[in-house]
Structure 1
């Protein structure tokens, strides 16, 4: 199967995840780029940031039109992560590929467990505490920079479990956080962007954008609790596979 066809298929799935779940795009994009398209971990993380940034903006517009984005909380969350994301991006170039893969798997697995154990989406929503939002955002930014992920697969659990946000709002708000963190991380990887294979990345992005619109429609038909469970199960599967690969 050609690289372009694989890129189109993977992009569609990743866009669907971003549109429906507000995250999961980069946690799926990195493995797809490494195992399906043969990219190195460093190139894959950079390409993932490009793909997820563009796709997230597209999905964010759709969610914002329906008023689901919590801008104040999202901006505070995202702003706190800009500096850590930048520093993490610079550090990533010095971390061995196997360590990056293992760390990626551990973080994804921890996020999945947190989502599985958190309250039902929409139950017991609490008032947002600025200090808690800033601390969670800073931690997310650091992970984004080091692992080359947009952070949605961590932002959604944090917005739901730590800040008490309803799943529907967490999905929408996380897209803004993803965009800001990804741009900050990309700023430290400008030299690696030039080396990307745009004949593959371009179709990947195009399919992801189309998938994000379908994902947005899907999110309106499935309950927040169901989305939360699906998200957690996908993360656990990806984490187990990558951890096993890193151990080989």
Structure 2
């Protein structure tokens, strides 16, 4: 390996470490948004193809979400029954849609992702956290199935949609929605990854590994941040970040079309 190649490898490794830390911080603090950040980072910073990035992102999000979930569970901030219902409803749709998602043109999936992210952000900006109400199993199952299908289609964990659904549709407080979202993310992303991994070209796991490692560390810091910052502030920060990602992806989709 010559000097130029060595510098390229080291630069890619540093970018993977930094991007992983940011993804983990997002997941730990907000209960979502990890794959929203991971997919663009893998594509634009590390040179992954969209198919490789979405598949690698799912693995990163699964490992990071498990770590963040453990931290939130220790604090008693997970609605296990509701999260299990959400997750169980989304597993099959995530797996089925994941099998065919690689056939969708990149510009179409990017545009769809941007629209959904923007809608979720607007909903979170308009809604305030409410007191928890009675859980309606039918509504929870329907929302879980829809989110699972979107996870399989977009190659993301779905936390950026799960949190608004828990807060806005099921009236779960933001503090509990974050932890519960991590349970849903873990199950749905794992199901989508299993079906996607055999449909994409070889992934550079040598970069994915360090990315995931720093994401795990960032998730613990994110949990500590969530304990110190008001839930409504986190909700608004999350929404603004989503709007920025959505705008960037719209531009990218138009250029790619």
- Which interval holds the TM-score relative to the shorter structure? over 0.9
1:77 aligns with 2:122: no
Cα distance in 1 for residues equivalent to 2:185 and 2:213: 18
1:169 aligns with 2:176: yes
2:218 pairs with one of 206, 211, 231? 211
1:50 aligns with 2:88: no
Q: Deviations over 1:52-105 (max 9, x none)?
A: 000000000011011110000000011000111011101201101111111111
Q: How many residues align?
A: 246
CA shift at 1:39, angstroms?
Answer: 1.0
Counterpart in the other structure of 2:3: none
Cα distance in 2 for residues equivalent to 1:43 and 1:109: 24
Q: Structure 2: which 5+ runs fail to align? A: 1-7
Is the 1:23–1:156 Cα contact (8 Å) retained in structure 2? yes
Counterpart in the other structure of 2:133: 126
Is the 1:73–1:128 Cα contact (8 Å) retained in structure 2? yes
Matches within 5 A, 1:142-181: 142-181=149-188
CA shift at 1:192, angstroms?
Answer: 4.7
CA shift at 1:193, angstroms?
Answer: 7.0
**Greater gyration radius:** 2
Cα distance in 2 for residues equivalent to 1:180 and 1:46: 15
Is the 1:90–1:188 Cα contact (8 Å) retained in structure 2? yes
1:199 aligns with 2:209: no
Cα distance in 1 for residues equivalent to 2:43 and 2:121: 21
Counterpart in the other structure of 2:34: 25
1:99 pairs with one of 108, 115, 118? 108
Cα distance in 2 for residues equivalent to 1:227 and 1:171: 10
Q: Deviations over 1:198-233 (max 9, x none)?
A: 111011001100000000000000000000000000
Per the normalisation by structure 1, the TM-score is: 0.97
Change (3 A) 1:56 1:25: same
CA shift at 1:191, angstroms?
Answer: 1.4
CA shift at 1:114, angstroms?
Answer: 1.1
Cα distance in 2 for residues equivalent to 1:5 and 1:35: 14
